[in-house]
């Protein structure tokens, strides 16, 4: 179908720990201006409302492709909560009978395992891959030649923070604070996101290590602002805490919208994420 003034699009609203997106079967539509569509539909007052749009497309390399756009229309490489919902979408709608799937996003392929009950997905485990730590690959600009950015100093609005940089297919700066809930995230989030050290912008996690198995986190996502959860962010947080010797290799990351179980298999150098995916509602919208 071509996108015209009278075109109606069927969608499914889904979330993972409150990180909500609008899901569209990309095989059913040909849409040229996806950036503009994401901005319009993500608006919580005049659209459907969400942290962005995810198109579920055919893939030559995997079972399906996830094509993701943030609420500001920018393209995103990966979303841990999003990819769990994609897996639930394709299984619940009968697009696949597999309980082990491969889903492609921005050229990266993730392996996913489904837990089901009465033919519906109740939980999803994802191999999120190897954490990327080299500054030039994240990317992060630094004056010194370093293989890993651990507790690097950054100054924002006259305040100094120490961050650990990790990419899980998208860049993250993990910052320890005394109380994540008291952070002025609406002020600090955009400033860190657009800081000169981060040439492709960055997602920022403000965290508190509760003990060696539990971490509390708030997140500012580039292109979306504060969200209730971020799956890649939770993986980056776990990796950062493990690298800094603060936690065990298996932790529960507590986000505003729920909890994710993150495990870093150090022998395989692979991070696994387990969490829920929920369908909110379905409908059609005229675009």
Active site residue 241: no
Choose the catalytic residue: 17, 79, 235, 241: 79
Instruction: Please provide the size of the chain in residues.
Output: 287
Cα–Cα distances (Å) from 153 to 88, 209, 218, in that order, read: 40, 19, 20
| CA–CA separation, 165 and 170 (whole Å) | 11
State the first-to-last Cα distance of the chain, in angstroms, to the nearest integer: 13
> Which residue of the set 17, 230, 235, 241 is catalytic?
230
Contact between 205 and 174 under an 8 Å Cβ cutoff? The reply is yes
- Tell me how far CA of residue 214 lies from CA of 58, 180, 234, 241, 249, in angstroms: 38, 14, 11, 10, 11
DSSP-derived pairing of the beta strands 19-25 and 52-57: parallel
Give every CB contact of residue 227 below 8 A, 6+ residues apart in sequence. Answer: 18, 19, 51, 219, 221, 257
How far apart are alpha carbons 182 and 19 in whole angstroms?
21
CB atoms within 10 A of CB 241: 24
Query: How many Å apart are CA 195 and CA 257, to the nearest integer?
Result: 27
* Residue 140 · residue 102 · CB < 8 Å: no
The answer to whether 50 and 22 have CB atoms below 8 angstroms apart is: yes
Residues annotated as catalytic (active site), given as ranges: 79, 230
């Amino acid at each position: 179908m071509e996108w015209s003034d009278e075109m109606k699009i069927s969608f499914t609203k889904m979330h993972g720990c409150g990180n909500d997106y609008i899901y569209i079967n990309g095989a059913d539509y040909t849409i040229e201006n996806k950036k503009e569509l994401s901005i319009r539909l993500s608006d919580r007052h005049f659209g459907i409302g969400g942290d962005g749009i995810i198109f579920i497309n055919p893939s030559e390399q995997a079972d399906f492709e996830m094509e993701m756009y943030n609420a500001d229309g920018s393209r995103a490489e990966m979303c841990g909560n999003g990819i769990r919902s994609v897996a639930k979408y394709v299984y619940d709608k009968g697009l696949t009978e597999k309980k082990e799937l491969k889903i492609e996003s921005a050229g990266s392929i993730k392996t996913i395992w489904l837990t089901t009950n009465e033919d519906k997905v109740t939980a999803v485990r994802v191999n999120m891959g190897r954490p990327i730590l080299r500054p030039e690959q994240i990317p992060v600009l630094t004056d010194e030649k370093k293989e890993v950015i651990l507790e690097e100093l950054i100054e924002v609005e006259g305040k100094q923070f120490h961050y650990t940089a990790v990419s899980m297919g998208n860049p993250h700066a993990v910052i320890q604070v005394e109380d994540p809930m008291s952070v002025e995230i609406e002020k600090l989030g955009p400033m860190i996101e657009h800081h000169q050290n981060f040439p492709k912008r960055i997602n920022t996690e403000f965290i508190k290590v509760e003990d060696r198995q539990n971490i509390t986190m708030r997140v500012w996502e580039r292109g979306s602002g504060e969200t209730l959860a971020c799956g890649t962010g939770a993986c980056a947080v776990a990796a950062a805490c493990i690298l800094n010797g603060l936690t065990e290799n298996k932790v529960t990351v507590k986000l505003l919208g729920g909890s994710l179980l993150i495990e870093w298999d150090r022998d395989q150098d692979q991070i696994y994420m387990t969490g829920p995916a929920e369908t909110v509602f379905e409908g059609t919208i005229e675009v």
